[in-house]
Amino acid sequence: MFQARARAEVLKEVVNVVSTLVDEAKFTMNSDGLTLRAVDPAHIAMVDLTLGKDAFDEFKADESEIGIDIDKLSQFLKLSRGDNIVDMKHDEDKRRLKIVVGDITRHMSLIDTTGMSDPKVPNLDLPASVTVRSEDLMQGIKASETISDHIALVASPEAFEMSCEGDMDQVHWKKAKKDLPALKAQGSVRSLFPLEYFSNMLKSVSSGSEVTMHLGSDYPVRMEFKIADGKGEVRYLLAPRIESND
Amino acid sequence: MFQARARAEVLKEVVNVVSTLVDEAKFTMNSDGLTLRAVDPAHIAMVDLTLGKDAFDEFKADESEIGIDIDKLSQFLKLSRGDNIVDMKHDEDKRRLKIVVGDITRHMSLIDTTGMSDPKVPNLDLPASVTVRSEDLMQGIKASETISDHIALVASPEAFEMSCEGDMDQVHWKKAKKDLPALKAQGSVRSLFPLEYFSNMLKSVSSGSEVTMHLGSDYPVRMEFKIADGKGEVRYLLAPRIESND
Amino acid sequence: MFQARARAEVLKEVVNVVSTLVDEAKFTMNSDGLTLRAVDPAHIAMVDLTLGKDAFDEFKADESEIGIDIDKLSQFLKLSRGDNIVDMKHDEDKRRLKIVVGDITRHMSLIDTTGMSDPKVPNLDLPASVTVRSEDLMQGIKASETISDHIALVASPEAFEMSCEGDMDQVHWKKAKKDLPALKAQGSVRSLFPLEYFSNMLKSVSSGSEVTMHLGSDYPVRMEFKIADGKGEVRYLLAPRIESND
């Protein structure tokens, strides 16, 4: 059983976060809220999303799971303004989700979840962490996009840096510790990431938010941020590209 | 003889309404104003437009007709703001229309009207009618566009509904009588229409307007709305798609 | 040696003016400021730009020249707002330009200037001149774009006119002397120009500016306007299309 009511903007945040990596996703519900874990088709990135029941105006659920075509849900939410109220109800017999916003009702067929994996979140020991405003991250990404397909994230006790090297040109975005919301690093760490993934993941972060990144050297980055006015949480993992020593 | 002056926004409304169905159109003038009737190339839809002479700042015309390339007129009007004044004069000798807005004069060659048909507006007995705000109609259309190529319009004594069925999903947009500007129906009627035509026709309606639709079962829909601050009137007819009983 | 600081909007004006004609350009510096002369690949148009050192917040330069990929510089400036401060420094050893805006540093490789020409500005005796607001010019251009690939500029003692003749239609944009900032002509002059060049050149003029055009009959047009709040100057030359008498 799953029946819930929420502001459209909360659901839009969820859709933005998930659609970055997958077209279809399995939502797992229980009486406390819902969770979602998914790995992108290329197995380079993972999302681990939790949305507590207090992120909803109403929320009732047994332990259950539903498979949603994220694109269809996104289409439907585009019909609504952010402050519209969306009602959802799982029709187990017909394997459909009934969604209502204003005068519009959509009966949306669900996806069979039996074949969908349950990815495990790896336990990573990442020695450095830095908190950056989403606007600042986007500026560093935009500067990098004209240079290369990869971006290096570098944290040291003094500063955090995004840098990008092309055949001819280089771009560096750098902020000192005092200009960052938070920075913790013993030594210096550096990892290289595929820029398109990194960019798409961060585009799903609402403007005005802060993102905390946990980093190591040649290790995945774990990006954490809040959604739904702090009542939901997202963790993205992105695999590094190991730089060869040739 | 035809010589007239009007605000650009009035002419833009006319162009929007007509360009939905045809690229070229014959305008028929007399001392009371102008009329236009045209059928789209696939013979699925018809427009019947009347613009009284008081929709113009100045209007002088004998009984005459001119054939206009709607696309050219639209291009020219895009050079103007809505409150600009447009002067038009038919040059019969050179078969051109002289149009002036601000510093710009265009001599526009006219189209020979001898081959252009004079469609008759069919006399239809449509038992139900409903008046809907254009914004509401557009919302129902947008919800339908992701589902199917056809939209069903359903009127009953209690409510008006637009609905759409795809292979997997269904969408319904529904408003009760009390939430509609007007609704008259003895029993329930239902007809199915090609969504793209219905959508394009309603996109030409100015926002904030109301559209009155006359409906039957498996019958054409007649859509009526005002243009030019009530000094002009549009009637669209759209043929139904007859649903087979297979 | 070249080291300078300027508001991003000043550099964006320069980039807009130059990118209209060339992808790469040689900037020539001395202690008074910088100059740039370039001819487009088809040898139809020329730009002659001067930017005095007082257009910069700081400016230090020896006699030197640097070859810049205009597209790269444009990309970089898009990362900035108009009031951002941009720092530039020529690294002669590494043949790079270091550009800094806010937290972003780009090391931009320079282009070898040895093969780049030094075009001479031809000495033209153009008998008529007219000053027109950039908005008015753009309106005349937009009206012409739907008609033909060429535009005629016509100046007489009484008026300035842009006109365009297609196979079927004609467009004229005309302003009388009293409605123009300035107009000087003994007799009537007329030249025909490729519309796309003329349009692209004038798109680089900031809105609210005035452009002075010097004209003859079947002669190039010289267009002059200010940039950088009057501290820089642009001269464009555009070759006419000679109309045959067939």
Residue by residue, DSSP assigns A4-40 as EEEEHHHHHHHHHHHHTT-SEEEEEEETTEEEEEEE-
Q: Which residues contact C124 (CB under 8 A, 6 or more apart)?
A: C214, C216, C219, C220, C222, C237
- Contact list in B for residue A109 (CB cut-off 8 A) is 168-169
pLDDT of residue A51: 98
Nearest-CA distance A151 → chain C (Å): 14
Buried b (16+ CB within 10 A) or exposed e, B23-41: ebbbbbbeeebbbbbbbbe
pLDDT of residue A85: 97
Is the Cβ–Cβ distance between A133 and A210 less than 8 Å? Answer: yes
**Contact between A103 and B139 using a beta-carbon 8 Å cutoff:** yes
- Contact list in B for residue C143 (CB cut-off 8 A) is 76, 79, 104, 106
**Contact between A103 and B136 using a beta-carbon 8 Å cutoff:** yes
Chain B interface, Cβ < 8 Å to A: 136, 139-140, 142-143, 146, 168-175
**What is the ipTM metric for this complex?**
0.88
What chain C holds in terms of domains, given with CATH numbers, is: 2-109 (3.70.10.10), 128-238 (3.70.10.10)
pLDDT of residue A237: 98
B115-119, C100-104, C133-137: least confident range: B115-119
For residue C194, pLDDT beyond 90: yes
**Contact between B104 and C169 using a beta-carbon 8 Å cutoff:** no
Nearest-CA distance C151 → chain B (Å): 14
- Whole-number Å distance between alpha carbons of A171 and C88: 14
For residue B226, pLDDT beyond 70: yes
Nearest-CA distance C9 → chain A (Å): 18
Nearest to B9 by CA among B86, B69, B75: B86
Among all chains, which residue has been given the structure tokens 């810049």? C68
Candidates C168, C169, C171; nearest CB to B104: C171
Confidence band (pLDDT; 50, 70, 90) for C82? confident
**Could you tell me the two tokens for C230?**
């009057």
pLDDT of residue C135: 94
Q: How far is CA C58 from CA A177, C4, C32, C87, in A?
A: 29, 5, 12, 9
- In three-state form (DSSP H/G/I as H, E/B as E, the rest C), the secondary structure along chain B is CEEEEEEHHHHHHHHHHHHCCCCEEEEEEECCEEEEEEECCCCCEEEEEEEEHHHCCEEEECCEEEEEEHHHHHHHHCCCCCCCEEEEEEECCCCEEEEEECCEEEEEECECCCCCCCCCCCCCCCCEEEEEEHHHHHHHHHHHHCCCCEEEEEECCCEEEEEEECCCCEEEEEEEHHHCCEEECCCCEEEEEEHHHHHHHHHCCCCCCEEEEEECCCCCEEEEEEEHHHCEEEEEEECCECCCCC
Q: Which amino acid is at A191?
A: S
Q: pTM here?
A: 0.90
pLDDT of residue B244: 67
Candidates C72, C79, C102; nearest CB to A169: C72
Among all chains, which residue has been given the structure tokens 């009390």? B178
Instruction: Give the residue, B242 or B7, on which the prediction is more confident.
Output: B7
How many CB atoms are closer than 10 A to CB A28?
A: 16
**Contact between C103 and A171 using a beta-carbon 8 Å cutoff:** no
**Contact between B103 and C175 using a beta-carbon 8 Å cutoff:** yes
Nearest-CA distance A12 → chain B (Å): 16
For residue A234, pLDDT beyond 90: yes
pLDDT of residue A117: 82
- Whole-number Å distance between alpha carbons of C181 and C69: 37
**Contact between C106 and A175 using a beta-carbon 8 Å cutoff:** no
- Whole-number Å distance between alpha carbons of A189 and A205: 24
**Contact between A102 and B140 using a beta-carbon 8 Å cutoff:** no
pLDDT in tens, C49-58: 999 999 999 9
What 8-state DSSP symbol labels residue A106? E
**Contact between A142 and C109 using a beta-carbon 8 Å cutoff:** no
Nearest to B122 by CA among B27, B217, B21, B222: B222
CB pairs under 8 A between B and C: 38
Is the Cβ–Cβ distance between B110 and B68 less than 8 Å? Answer: yes
**Contact between B103 and C139 using a beta-carbon 8 Å cutoff:** yes
Candidates A72, A75, A103; nearest CB to B173: A103
Q: Which residues contact C86 (CB under 8 A, 6 or more apart)?
A: C5, C6, C7, C8, C11, C77, C80, C99, C100, C101
Confidence band (pLDDT; 50, 70, 90) for B106? very high
Longest dimension (CA), chain A: 62
pLDDT of residue C189: 98
> Cα dihedral angle (B3, B9, B11, B14), rounded to 10 degrees?
-150
- Contact list in A for residue C75 (CB cut-off 8 A) is 146
- Whole-number Å distance between alpha carbons of C68 and A112: 56
- Contact list in C for residue B104 (CB cut-off 8 A) is 139-140, 143, 171-173
Confidence band (pLDDT; 50, 70, 90) for B242? confident
What does the pLDDT average to over C111-130? 92
Residue of A nearest to C99 (CA): A171
**Contact between B106 and C140 using a beta-carbon 8 Å cutoff:** no
> Cα dihedral angle (C75, C80, C82, C86), rounded to 10 degrees?
-90
What does the pLDDT average to over B221-245? 92
**Could you tell me the two tokens for A104?**
């519009």
Longest dimension (CA), chain B: 62
For residue C33, pLDDT beyond 90: yes
Is the Cβ–Cβ distance between C37 and C47 less than 8 Å? Answer: yes
pLDDT in tens, A99-146: 999 999 999 999 999 988 889 999 999 999 999 999 999 999 999 998
Buried b (16+ CB within 10 A) or exposed e, B145-172: bbbbebbbbbbbeebbbbbbbeeebbbb
Among all chains, which residue has been given the structure tokens 């009137």? B233
Candidates A75, A76, A109; nearest CB to B168: A109
Helices A8-19/A70-77 angle, 10° precision: 140
**Contact between B107 and C175 using a beta-carbon 8 Å cutoff:** no
Confidence band (pLDDT; 50, 70, 90) for C169? very high
For residue A246, pLDDT beyond 60: no
Confidence band (pLDDT; 50, 70, 90) for A82? confident
Confidence band (pLDDT; 50, 70, 90) for B245? low
Mean of per-residue pLDDT scores for chain A: 95
- Whole-number Å distance between alpha carbons of C217 and C223: 15
Candidates A79, A105, A109; nearest CB to B142: A79
Using DSSP bridges, classify how beta strands A189-194 and A150-155 pair: parallel, antiparallel or unpaired: antiparallel
Candidates A168, A169, A175; nearest CB to C103: A175
- Whole-number Å distance between alpha carbons of B221 and B128: 10
| Angle made by CA atoms A9, A14, A17, in degrees to the nearest 5 | 125
CB burial of residue A127 (10 Å; 0-12, 13-18, 19+): middle
- Contact list in C for residue A171 (CB cut-off 8 A) is 104-107
pLDDT of residue A244: 67
Nearest to C232 by CA among C78, C55, C86: C55
Phi, psi values for residue C239, rounded to 5°: -75, 145
Is the Cβ–Cβ distance between A228 and A51 less than 8 Å? Answer: yes
**Contact between C106 and A173 using a beta-carbon 8 Å cutoff:** no
Mean of per-residue pLDDT scores for chain B: 95
Give partners of B (≥3 CB pairs < 8 A). A, C
For residue C245, pLDDT beyond 90: no
What does the pLDDT average to over C180-208? 96
**Contact between A136 and C103 using a beta-carbon 8 Å cutoff:** yes
For residue A245, pLDDT beyond 70: no
Q: Which residues contact C217 (CB under 8 A, 6 or more apart)?
A: C189, C190, C191
pLDDT of residue A9: 96
**Contact between B139 and A79 using a beta-carbon 8 Å cutoff:** yes
Nearest-CA distance B98 → chain C (Å): 10
- Whole-number Å distance between alpha carbons of C150 and C135: 19
- Whole-number Å distance between alpha carbons of C96 and A165: 14
Nearest to A51 by CA among A35, A38, A73, A67: A35
